[in-house]
Each structure stands twice: as structure tokens, then as C-alpha cells.
């Protein structure tokens, strides 16, 4: 591999060396590298990029060396922060009930409940920002306001990424995309922001989170409420109360008896664990949706 002569060449070689790695890891590595290289260049204004890179490669590392370091660090970090794996079960019943021992199940459950709040906030932020940007477009402050709004959207995408990684266990970027347009004229940098597909997929994600948040919250609350109500039916019966009371047009039903109540409790237990499987599956699916829309595919 030829020695890089410019920062752009260094970053391209680093990207090539990281080919096949997680896109979120690539984004973090590119951001760190460019930030370090430009800081070195700023501290040595009398040297050109080629001379600075020749000096920095000895301390910071060549692109392939940096790539190897990031791969090794990623393995160590993931081992450190990853929750212990749940016990492996071979039987069907063990796998079915073992979902309760998986930490990702409860992270996904909390995310599904939280998604309604974050979905409302993201949707409101996106719609308000787009509406104000359209309304102010006829004024001189219209474009600066829209650019500021797009910057806030990127900041929120990083926040959402941290939430997704913490609760759903999906690797997301920990740094913003590296500023590849740095050094370009202002108008070209603005144009690059508009042509960056990640800008619009992030906006789409924020709009999508409202219906998804409603669906997630409804599924989680409905299934958990019904299953817990069924499980608690024997306790209701023990206090001398009827589990089900119906009186419709002269038809009355008060019950069931103890046999039916126990059966209802067993159905509730099965439904509860089935709900946990559903919640964990939705969490995994949403993690892939978030990664597909918030992490630029160009990082790969």
C-alpha cells in the first residue's frame, strides 16, 4: 500500500483496510482519524499534508495498522459491555421459557415502552423543523435555519443510536460521520449535506418512529396486561370475586370455577413467555431498521 500523501488518501486507505467491518465501527474510526490528522495539521501550519502525514504515520499508525487496532479494540469492548449470554437450552420447553433469562428481552421491552415517548418527540421535532424551514425559506434566515435543523437531526440520530445500542444490543456509531467535506468551499459543503442520503434517511426514521412507537407500545402493554391478568385470576378468585362478570340482555355469566381459573392462569403463563419472545423479536428487528436508516451505507 502506497504511503498516503493527503488526509483524504489516508482516510480512503483506512476505509479500505476496514472493509467488511461493522459500518458503525468504520464511521467511528474515520472520524477519530480525521480529527487527529487535522489537529496535527493545525498545530503545524508551515508543513503540508504530505510532510505531516509522514510524521504522523510513525506515531498514529499507518491505515492498515490503525484498522487492526480498531478491530482488536472492538472485540475487547464488546466482550466487556456485552451482558453474559443466557444459559443454552436444548429442549423446546427450555428454549421457550429461557427467554426470561435473556437480558436483551428486558432491554427490548423497555425500548418498546419508551418508543412512544421518543417517537412523539422525534416526529414533532421533524415536522416542526420542516414546517418552519419551509415557512422561513422566503427570508434570509431560511437556509441557515434549515441547516441548523439538519444539524440537530444528526445530533438526535447519535442519541437514538446510543439508546438502541444500550437497550437492543445493536452496534451503533459513537461518533458523528467524519467531516469529509472539511476544506471544501462553504457552498459545496452545504450541497454535500443535501445530497447525503443519510440526512434524508434519518429524517424518515424520525417520522417513522411515531407510528412504530404507537405499535410497539400497544403490543407491549396489551400482551403484558392480558397475560398478567390471566396469571392473577386465581388470586382474584381466592378473595371470593368472580374473574369474569357478564350480564348482557338477560344473559348472565359469573365465573369461571376453580378449574377454569387455574386453566386461565396457565394460559396466562404461556402467553407471558410468548409475549417476551415477541418483544425480543421486535427489538432485534427494530435494531436492524435503526442501523439501516441511521448508519450511512457508504461507511461500509
Residue 300 has pLDDT above 50, yes or no: no
| pLDDT tens-place string over residues 269-288 | 999 999 999 999 999 999 99
Give 275's Cβ-side CA count (13 Å radius). 22
Residue 28 CA to residue 12 CA, distance in Å, equals 14
**So what's the pLDDT on residue 238?**
74
Work out the percent of the chain whose per-residue pLDDT is above 90.
33
Partner residues linked to 253 by β-bridges:
246
Which range has the worst mean pLDDT, 43-52, 92-101, 127-136? 43-52
Instruction: Give this prediction's pTM.
Output: 0.81
Phi then psi dihedrals of residue 124, to 5 deg: -65, -45
Residue 212 has pLDDT above 60, yes or no: yes
Residue 250 has pLDDT above 80, yes or no: no
Partner residues linked to 246 by β-bridges:
253
Partner residues linked to 48 by β-bridges:
none
Which range has the worst mean pLDDT, 52-56, 135-139, 227-231? 52-56
Question: Of 63, 14, 35, 37, which Cα lies nearest the Cα of 299?
Answer: 14
pLDDT-based confidence at residue 54 (cuts at 50, 70, 90): confident
Find cell 412507537 and name the residue: 213
pLDDT-based confidence at residue 73 (cuts at 50, 70, 90): confident
Residue 245 has pLDDT above 70, yes or no: no
| pLDDT tens-place string over residues 2-36 | 777 788 888 888 888 888 888 888 888 888 888 88
**So what's the pLDDT on residue 11?**
85
Q: Which helix (H) or strand (E) is 56 found in, with range?
A: helix 49-59
State whether residue 206 is helix, strand or coil.
Answer: helix
Higher confidence at residue 139 or residue 50? 139
Of 73-87, 158-172, 246-260, the range with the highest mean pLDDT is: 158-172
Phi then psi dihedrals of residue 120, to 5 deg: -65, -45
182-193: average pLDDT: 65
* Mean pLDDT of all residues belonging to the chain: 83
CB 16, CB 61: distance < 8 Å? no
Cα Rg of the chain, angstroms? 27
Amino acid at each position: 500500500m502506497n504511503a498516503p500523501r493527503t488526509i483524504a488518501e489516508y482516510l480512503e486507505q483506512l476505509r479500505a483496510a476496514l472493509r467488511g467491518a461493522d459500518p458503525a465501527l468504520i464511521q467511528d474510526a474515520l472520524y477519530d482519524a480525521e480529527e487527529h490528522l487535522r489537529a496535527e495539521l493545525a498545530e503545524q501550519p508551515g508543513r503540508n499534508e504530505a510532510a505531516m502525514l509522514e510524521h504522523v504515520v510513525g506515531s498514529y499508525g499507518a491505515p492498515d495498522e490503525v484498522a487492526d487496532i480498531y478491530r482488536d479494540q472492538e472485540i475487547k469492548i464488546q466482550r466487556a459491555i456485552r451482558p453474559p449470554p443466557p444459559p443454552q437450552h436444548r429442549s423446546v420447553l427450555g428454549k421457550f421459557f429461557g427467554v426470561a433469562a435473556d437480558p436483551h428481552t428486558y432491554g427490548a421491552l423497555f425500548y418498546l415502552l419508551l418508543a412512544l415517548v421518543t417517537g412523539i418527540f422525534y416526529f414533532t421535532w421533524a415536522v416542526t423543523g420542516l414546517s418552519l424551514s419551509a415557512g422561513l425559506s422566503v427570508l434570509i434566515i431560511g437556509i441557515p435555519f434549515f441547516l441548523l435543523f439538519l444539524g440537530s437531526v444528526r445530533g438526535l440520530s447519535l442519541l437514538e443510536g446510543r439508546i438502541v445500542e444500550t437497550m437492543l444490543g445493536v452496534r451503533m456509531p459513537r461518533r458523528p460521520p467524519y467531516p469529509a467535506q472539511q476544506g471544501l468551499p462553504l457552498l459545496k459543503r452545504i450541497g454535500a449535506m443535501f445530497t447525503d442520503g443519510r440526512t434524508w434517511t434519518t429524517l424518515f426514521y424520525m417520522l417513522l418512529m411515531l407510528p412504530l412507537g404507537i405499535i410497539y407500545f400497544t403490543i407491549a402493554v396489551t400482551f403484558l396486561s392480558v397475560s398478567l391478568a390471566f396469571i392473577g385470576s386465581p388470586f382474584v378468585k381466592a378473595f371470593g370475586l368472580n374473574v369474569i362478570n357478564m350480564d348482557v340482555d338477560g344473559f348472565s355469566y359469573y365465573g369461571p370455577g376453580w378449574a377454569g381459573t387455574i386453566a386461565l392462569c396457565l394460559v396466562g403463563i404461556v402467553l407471558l413467555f410468548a409475549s417476551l419472545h415477541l418483544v425480543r423479536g421486535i427489538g432485534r428487528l427494530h435494531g436492524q431498521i435503526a442501523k439501516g436508516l441511521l448508519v450511512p451505507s457508504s461507511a461500509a
